Structure 1
Amino acid sequence: MIDALERDLGLSEAQVITRLANEERAMAAEASLTTALGSSYGGAWLNDDASKFMVATTDPATTKAIEAQGAQPVVVSRSLDQLNGIMQALDQAPQQAKDGATLWFVDVKTNTVSVQAPTVEAAQALVAATDVDKSAVTVAATAEQPTTFINIIGGAAYYIGGSRCSVGFAVTRGSTPGFTTAGHCGRAGAATSSPTGTFQGSSFPGNDYAWVAAPGNTATPYVRGSGGANVTVRGSTQASVGSSICRSGSTTGWRCGTIQQHNASVRYAQGTVNGLTRTSACAQPGDSGGSFISGSQAQGMTSGGSGNCSVGGTTYHQPVNEALSVYGLTLRTG
């Protein structure tokens, strides 16, 4: 940590050690004063070099108690509870107003709530959509465009409520990133997490494919391979019967076999799925939707099968090209 803080904050080792000690004292003082000041507490912060610990209060009579903790009191007009109430109102504003803004946060240093958007007008629109005290809110234009930092990689896990499936292949539709997966993993409209997205289309039974739009995430041309290495997807040409094939899933990882047949129809309890490819690669629950790849060519998404990876088994995949065609998707390749 000391090395990283020296590098990223431009400090000497001695300065880092002093800063960490000051921060530790501030944490203890803040925990104590939050309780002691009660409804008058207005928040706390360290100055730029962490040499001073500032504590805000709406009650001038509490300044002595703040000083007794080695902190510098700042008398303000609004408590932290009041600022958090403004935040709650903004969080509950109509979605259309929130869609125009970029971020909003409590700024204890200025004793206000800050709303930022690509334009000042968009920030003002969010504030106007609530009945908050406008004098307690500042607005500003920002160039920030926050995104999540999840890379969409074939074989990785994603979640639908309490269930888990696996990413098939990263795709785009227009400028929207997302991924293919198995249709039995979710219906259109179902929400996913890690990465966050929404099922846009799903077909099961009959077929077993789906696609999830995951805006804000990064579509990559990779499938998670053996030992943490990634395999680059370069296309989606169908491999011949007898070809070697590997699959990646969030339960059993990277497993390989051979293609036994194309165009198989399989009867599941939920109904029959047609046009599947039968392979000797094993799989287990949670691997559903995960990538099948032969060489560098995407083949399909894990549908189902029999057996397991302890005793071996047979696994079927839904060919990816059908899903790409039906939903107008572009496979992410490298």
Structure 2
Amino acid sequence: MSHKRIPKRKAAIAAGSVVALGAAALLLPNANASQDGAADDATPRTLKAADASDLAAQLAGALGDAFAGSYYDSAKQQLVVNVVGGDNNTVVVQAKKAGAAVRQVDNSTAELKSAARTLKTRATIPGTSWAVDPRTNKIVVTADSTVTGARWNRLESTVDSLGSGMATLKKSAGTFRTFVSGGDAIFGGGARCSLGFNVTAGDGSPAFLTAGHCGVAAEQWSDAQNGGPIATVDQAVFPGAGDFALVKYDDPATQAPSEVNAGNGQIVPIAQAADAAVGQQVFRMGSTTGLRDGTVTGLDATVNYPEGTVTGLIQTDVCAEPGDSGGSLFTQDGSAVGLTSGGSGDCTSGGETFFQPVTTALQATGATLGAGGAGGGAGAGDQAGGGEQAGGDQAGGDGQQAGGDQVGGGAGAGDQSGAGEQPGAGEQSGNGDESGSGDQSGAGAGAPGDGSGHGAADSSGLTESR
């Protein structure tokens, strides 16, 4: 077996980019600090999203049954905590003194979890998903375009049976499927996926996290189309309680910097993993569509893919397309949040997208993330691109999915055009109820810097590819 080491010059390029961007204050603008010394304990504190997530976890334990979820109000930079039991003034005072804004709601966490169990028992239908939205204090149930006829009627009647004010049902124009690819492209078994975050495995060896459906598609992975293997899957979970894989580099001397290559010469240093918060702004890096941003819309989401059910995911409105699986979901201040799993829609029409929480993946695999070792993001920007082609995306469970997921589309990190020379085959064959069509042509679906020479800067200072 041939072994290929990631070129050391990648790390050198990355380091230089970090220094330059840091000096320009382009990538990571200063966020408002927490007002820990507020004179009025009842006044909600101004918090960064990561701090709000930490406070929410603390209050969830402290408030017990009265806690009914929370979300981050990005406009006010405040944590909003839902509580049940309006006469429990002690709970309200406790949450306010901790710095949260408090809102009285009807549905308790226990009631929402009970409703989710009913959905699992009666409405586990391919093409559906559900997650709690603390902003509405309801479960949001989504059905993709394949859920029709008797299956739609069954889903609708199940939602109605939960009672008024417990859940809402909506339709998605796209089709739920896994998205193979991500930050820097990786190739294995004819599939193109993406490296999410570099980590240090429990035995101290360099490794990376990617999507579990990539890990079960191939055992060995390369950083170039038709290149020699550089890493081997150590653990993979999909479907089931997550969608993540730990892949160890074959060469123990591999340099695996803790950063995300965000394209256009931008490098985001990754220092820690963080739990997502509903309402939080997040960024996704993918080898097909480059850098995109959006908002977390739900937590602990259940998604019924054609291959099976996956639980415990983050739901967002960040767009993604086939070729983006496994890629990095992160924050502007350098926290690793998720790994791209799948969803519906594309970066033209939008849609729902789901991510594996990084904190859960780290705990399950025993890996660590951060400056203490290998962690976060792929190397710098000379990853192979140029019209590379993915082969079969995923064998799929029970013969439900097969075929080529995605044509090439610049797998590179920012210095490639990603032309995408061949159309993809039908992404999935369905489960007997539907058939896949040609999923993605890949033309011009390059990584950042795909030939347009233009980007769009959002409010955070990160420059999105277009």
Q: Quickly say closer, same or farther: Cα 1:312–1:333, change in 2 above 3 A.
A: farther
User: C-alpha root-mean-square deviation of aligned residues, in Å?
Assistant: 2.5
The answer on 1:149 being equivalent to 2:13 is: no
Counterpart pick for 1:231 among 265, 268, 288: 268
Unaligned runs of 5+ in 1: 1-94, 100-145
Q: Counterpart amino acid of 1:331? A: L
SS state of the match for residue 272, structure 2?
Answer: coil
Partner of 1:177: 206
Counterpart pick for 2:343 among 272, 296, 305: 305
Q: How does 1:90-101 map to 2 (within 5 A)?
A: none
Partner of 2:394: none
Q: Counterpart amino acid of 2:314? A: T
Q: How does 1:136-215 map to 2 (within 5 A)?
A: 147-149=5-7, 155-173=183-201, 174-187=203-216, 190-194=219-223, 196-206=230-240, 207-215=242-250
The question of whether the paired residues in 2 share the 8 Å contact of 1:170 and 1:220 is answered with yes
The structural deviation recorded for 1:332 is 3.3
SS state of the match for residue 307, structure 1?
Answer: coil
More helix by share: 1
Distance in 2 between residues matched to 1:282 and 1:187, nearest whole Å: 24
Distance in 2 between residues matched to 1:323 and 1:251, nearest whole Å: 23
Partner of 2:431: none
Q: Counterpart amino acid of 1:182? A: A
Partner of 1:256: 293
SS state of the match for residue 331, structure 1?
Answer: coil
Distance in 1 between residues matched to 2:209 and 2:5, nearest whole Å: 21
Distance in 1 between residues matched to 2:215 and 2:271, nearest whole Å: 27
**Greater relative contact order (Cα 8 A, min sep 6): structure 1 or 2?**
2
User: 184-193 vs 147-156, which deviates more?
Assistant: 147-156
Q: Quickly say closer, same or farther: Cα 1:147–1:257, change in 2 above 3 A.
A: closer
Q: Quickly say closer, same or farther: Cα 1:247–1:189, change in 2 above 3 A.
A: closer
The structural deviation recorded for 1:159 is 0.3
The structural deviation recorded for 1:187 is 2.2
Q: How does 1:1-334 map to 2 (within 5 A)?
A: 147-149=5-7, 155-173=183-201, 174-187=203-216, 190-194=219-223, 196-206=230-240, 207-216=242-251, 217-295=254-332, 296-333=334-371
Distance in 2 between residues matched to 1:237 and 1:182, nearest whole Å: 18
The structural deviation recorded for 1:147 is 4.6
Deviation by residue 1:37-80 (Cα, 9 ceiling, x = unmatched): xxxxxxxxxxxxxxxxxxxxxxxxxxxxxxxxxxxxxxxxxxxx
Q: Counterpart amino acid of 1:292? A: L
User: 210-219 vs 250-259, which deviates more?
Assistant: 210-219
Task: Report the identity percentage.
Answer: 44
Distance in 2 between residues matched to 1:304 and 1:289, nearest whole Å: 9
SS state of the match for residue 322, structure 1?
Answer: helix
The structural deviation recorded for 1:215 is 3.3
How does the TM-score come out when normalised to structure 1?
Answer: 0.54
Choose 1 or 2 for highest CA Rg. Answer: 1
Q: Counterpart amino acid of 2:338? A: G
Q: Quickly say closer, same or farther: Cα 1:241–1:149, change in 2 above 3 A.
A: same
The structural deviation recorded for 1:228 is 2.8
